[in-house]
Chain A
Amino acid sequence: MTEEIIIAGFGGQGVLSMGKILAYSGIMQDQEVAWFPSYGPEMRGGTANVTVILSDDRISSPVLHEYDTAIILNQQSMDKFESSVKPGGVLLYDPNGISRHPERKDIKVYRIEGTRLAAEMGNPKTFNMIVLGAYLKVKPLVEMENVKKGLEKSLPARHHKLIPLNIEAIEKGCGELETVQE
């Protein structure tokens, strides 16, 4: 099994940390992982994206031109990455702020109202975990137990009190996933 994912959105949405938690969860179940961020001047308030690869085998390129899954969290990223999903692959997106919805017919499309649900939970910072939950509903590649361990590993000890809230957000995301086309 190899899963190649791009997570793309605005800087500040928790794109990079979501990728890191996913990668750590993979390590917890003995997978090979790679996490490769876009870095540079565009990160300041602009778009941020990260490639995450989970695999049972040695990982080759961290730089990819097509992905099994694209998790898209703003319009710029939709414009940039919709065409990079492999035929038959998955596109998961938050419709908040999206004016042009996905058009491809040869991929599976799912929605998660992450922005709205995070506001309802009273903490906008839970946004990325809601989206992660939705992703794990589509592709249950890592066990929830290992996601918990991944959270423990990637969050500094002073933030461990927030783990239950993060788990709640992940479960919320799992429950609220909407299927657009399969």
Chain B
Amino acid sequence: MGELRLMKGNEVIAEAAIRCGCDGYFGYPITPQSEVMETLMIRRPWDETGMVVLQAESEVASINMLYGGASTGKKVMTSSSSPGISLMAEGLSYLAGAELPCLVVNVQRAGPGLGTIQPSQADYFQAVKGCGHGDYKLIVLAPASVQEMNDFVDLGFELAFKYKNPAMILTDGVIGQMMEKVELADFKPRWTKEEIQANCGDWACTGKKDRKRHVSTSLELDSELMEQNNLRFQAKYKEIEENEVRYEMIDCEDADYIIVAFGSAARICQKSMQIAREQGIKVGMLRPITLFPFPTKTIEELAGKVKGFISVEMSAGQMVEDVKLAVNGKVPVEYFGRYGGVVPTPGEIVDAMKQKLIGG
């Protein structure tokens, strides 16, 4: 068993990065995730593992530093909160277009604009549908506990390198600021030159010797060739959809109604489920862990067995669109949410479920 600690979600992101052999963190402070870089600066991993921690001059600079680091086969990451992620949109599209692996953490706050520093899940569309331009996808992981914040750093890097694609941890101020018991992973050393050669040797720019030149670019002016690139990306996204869907089902076996919720909303909904079940309402929950790829098939299967779904989100109704697509009209799909930094209470959700889904 690993080391047990009481830590904030944000602190755990930093500790997990050091422990999983991350080579570099590049970021710019913003509430509610500033503890990530703060923890890294206090931990001084450059003394311990040689990991670089750098406060860039802006989010735009951070994401482009990731592009540079990723091009050389290094495990690089950044973290920010909603407005900062918007600034990174261009860079993310370039990283996806150049097929470079990296990890981006979004500890969401409420928008639009500068909005407020309170928690939100209104960046679902931004994360899942692609916040930058072009046909690309991020692999999106949605932790619902401090433990998952720890686990998904390593998993995020693993998936990013497996598919040569940026991965994102999409969380929010609730999980970022909350302290829970966490079992920390054991230390993994950073990749050596030889390991980078073995893992990324066919694409990384590691210094050309006796091989063809490697170029990290998203630019391809020949449209026929650019279409080929896009076909390759789409095939990759399809492969990700087939192999990497992750979700948790809670009490779905006998359920008449299903709550679909991710991240902190899923935690709140677990309490709502307890309350509803005490009142004799048979409700279960599907918690998508990967938002892309989305558990479409699972929802489709559930749609044949239940009376209805409710998507509970801290947004004005974003994931509900994907739930509707999966259910495809078989049963009603409702939405409930609070937003603008307001977090719904378990009781409110039960009331909404009764009113919208069950009737009365």
Contacts and interface: CB of A to CB of B under 8 A. Distances in A.
Interface in B103-123: 116-118
B179 A35 contact: yes
Contacts of A61: 267-272, 346
B6 A20 contact: yes
Contacts of A65: 345-348
Nearest to B176: A39
A20 B117 contact: no
Contacts of A63: 174, 264, 267-268, 343-346
A59 B346 CA distance: 13
B231 interface: no
Interface in A99-130: none
Given A36-B178, A40-B118, A61-B270, A23 B345 contact: no
Interface in A157-178: none
A64 interface: yes
Contacts of A154: 6
B4 interface: yes
Contacts of B45: none
Chain B interface extent, by class: 20 to 34
B143 interface: no
B6 A153 contact: yes
B346 A64 contact: yes
Contacts of A153: 6
A60 B145 CA distance: 10
Contacts of B177: 36-37, 39
B337 interface: no
A62 B345 contact: no
A59 B180 CA distance: 10
Given A60-B271, A61-B267, A64-B346, A27 B4 contact: yes
B178 A35 contact: yes
Interface string B157-172: 0000000000000000
Interface string A56-75: 00011111111000000000
Nearest to B273: A60
A63 B267 CA distance: 8
A92 interface: no
A65 B6 CA distance: 24
Given A39-B32, A60-B274, A63-B264, A34 B346 contact: no
A35 B9 CA distance: 11
B181 interface: yes
A135 interface: no
B173 interface: yes
Nearest to B178: A36
A24 interface: yes
A9 B178 CA distance: 18
Nearest to A59: B180
A38 B36 CA distance: 18
A39 B173 contact: yes
A32 interface: yes
B117 A35 contact: no
A23 B8 CA distance: 12
Given A23-B6, A60-B268, A62-B178, 13 more contacts: A33-B181, A34-B179, A34-B180, A35-B6, A39-B117, A41-B117, A59-B180, A60-B273, A63-B267, A65-B346, A66-B347, A153-B6, A154-B6
User: When A and B form their complex, which 4 residue pairs have the shortest distance between CB atoms, in order from nearest?
Assistant: A60-B270, A61-B271, A65-B345, A35-B179
28 contacts: A20-B6, A23-B6, A27-B181, A33-B6, A35-B178, A35-B179, A36-B177, A36-B179, A39-B31, A39-B32, A39-B117, A40-B116, A40-B118, A60-B268, A60-B346, A61-B267, A61-B268, A61-B269, A61-B272, A61-B346, A62-B264, A63-B267, A63-B268, A63-B343, A64-B345, A64-B346, A65-B347, A153-B6
